[in-house]
Structure 1
Amino acid sequence: MALILVTGAAGGLGHNTARALADDGHEVVVHGRNRARLTDAGDDARWKGAILGDLSDLDEIHDVARQASEYGRFDAVIHNAGVMRSPAVATVNTIAPYVLTALMDKPGRLIYLSSSMHRTGSTDLGRLASGTASYDDSKLWVTALALALASRWEGTSSHAVDPGWVPTRMGGPAAPDDLTAGHRTQTWLATHHDVTPRTGGYWHHRQTQEPHPAAQDERFQAGLVRALENHTGVQLG
């Protein structure tokens, strides 16, 4: 049995991921923007606990990390929360996962939600501070963050996952990919021990793929971490 945090678990892929993990007997802590969103999902009895906070607000991101610390060290953290069309796209999709990672106890496994659209993201990190980042940019950056962390801390693995274009509220009803397959890779990475590579993979439906070259570029990874540290005032450690 593993203790697992899933961010953005009020609906869509995050909710499906959390339910699948709980149904397999794991202790699941869910995160949502507010209590109403989590309660509306109707699964309160499944969860070990709930963490509340708006990941578009830096102060609330800090508070989410504080709430998470009350559970001790997680076996896995699945950074699922994301937005597609919002002025806060970089904050929710890249900055929040970074700050939570930096402030929380290091888990056994880190899993970050990417997207195939990361391949058209920009390497211009000036967009991070200027607020001009696109969804594609934010997903390139969080993919690079995941791979930068792959060998940073002994005892912690890190992966990025492309769940596919699935029919959630974000993906839309016409999305062509399989909804169930959209969360299976995350649950597998969070709980199984026969994962190869053990760390540093970019995954789609439990198969590794080659990400955007910048995501694997150590110079870009280092520049991204510096930009995130400077922007948030939070050191990665």
Structure 2
Amino acid sequence: MRILITGSSDGLGLLTANLLSQSHQVILHARNTSRAHDATSACPSAHTCITGDLSTLAGIRAFAAEADKHGPYDAIMHNAGLYLGPFRRTEDNMPALVAVNTIAPYLLSCLMQKPKRLIFVSSGLHQNGNAGLEDITWQQRGEGKWNDAQAYADSKLHNVVFAWGFHRRFGIPTASVDPGWVKTKMGGPNAMDDLDAAVKTFAMVCTGEGEAGKREVGHYYQMKQRGFREEAKDVETQEKLFGILEGVTGVKVPE
């Protein structure tokens, strides 16, 4: 299998790449050449590493074009993400967190050649996300009202919605995955969930083996299915999110 994992220069993305590259062709992603060098050094069995800044619309488009040159893919895992931090306004006048966590997986899914499987990395914190989808780019609230925890929870809910929405639109196996609270740079030293199980879960949904092979769409955690916000399965919610993102990016979900 040929598998692309975004955000795979460190953390869970890199650990998953190392596991999968033992028996599959894995394409890494890093946001710049320095991190790409670190990634290939840490995962020497990877096929290659593509650089791309997923915090801007131009960067996402450029990455989509470059990544497609290395396809077609059996699976694409949208793992790149930002967690807590300041607003970090991008050249597109939106928070970098929103661009990387929500805009990038949407736009890449729309622009790139359709893979055989599509995976979106979410979080248990998606349960705190705003299902009303109001002001997802923070244009109305602005930097003064920025709440990074809420923005993160919203984006992780979007990722679950993507799994169901793109499955319905594309007709391919899709999944969202919750790694749990694990000891990574993002999770911190006090995390208590099983890191090895999280990595195996990521690999499972990429390959479609185990529990992930039993359903065409699902939400997985620590090698098993997990409950999620039911709004993600609502077609109106899916289409509302797609419509908002079409307005932001100028790109609609392909027929």
* TM-score, scaled relative to structure 2: 0.87
Q: Does 1:159 align with 2:175?
A: yes
* Stretch moving more, 220-229 or 32-41: 32-41
Aligned match for 1:180, one of 196, 207, 228: 196
Q: Does 1:102 align with 2:100?
A: no
1:16-35 aligned at under 5 Å gives the runs 16-23=15-22, 25-35=23-33
CA drift at 1:193: 4.6
CA drift at 1:40: 2.0
* TM-score, scaled relative to structure 1: 0.93
C-alpha contact 2:120 2:163 (8 A) present in aligned 1: yes
1:1-237 aligned at under 5 Å gives the runs 2-23=1-22, 25-41=23-39, 42-43=41-42, 45-86=44-85, 87=87, 88-131=96-139, 134-154=151-171, 156-193=172-209, 195-237=212-254
CA RMSD of aligned residues (A): 1.5
Percent identity at matched positions?
Answer: 39
C-alpha contact 1:151 1:199 (8 A) present in aligned 2: no
CA drift at 1:44: 5.5
CA drift at 1:128: 1.6
SS in 1 for 2:236: helix
C-alpha contact 2:198 2:223 (8 A) present in aligned 1: no
C-alpha contact 2:17 2:43 (8 A) present in aligned 1: no
SS in 2 for 1:137: helix
Residues 51-91 of structure 1, C-alpha deviations (whole Å, 9 max, x = no match): 11111111101011011110121000011111112432111
C-alpha contact 2:78 2:105 (8 A) present in aligned 1: yes
Q: Could you list the structure 1 runs, at least 4 aligned residues long, displaced by more than 4 angstroms after superposition.
A: none
CA drift at 1:45: 3.0
Aligned to 2:90: none
Equivalent pairs counted in the alignment come to 234
For structure 2, the 5+ residue unaligned runs are 88-95, 140-145
SS in 2 for 1:181: helix
Residues 159-191 of structure 1, C-alpha deviations (whole Å, 9 max, x = no match): 000011111111111111111112211211211
CA drift at 1:8: 0.3
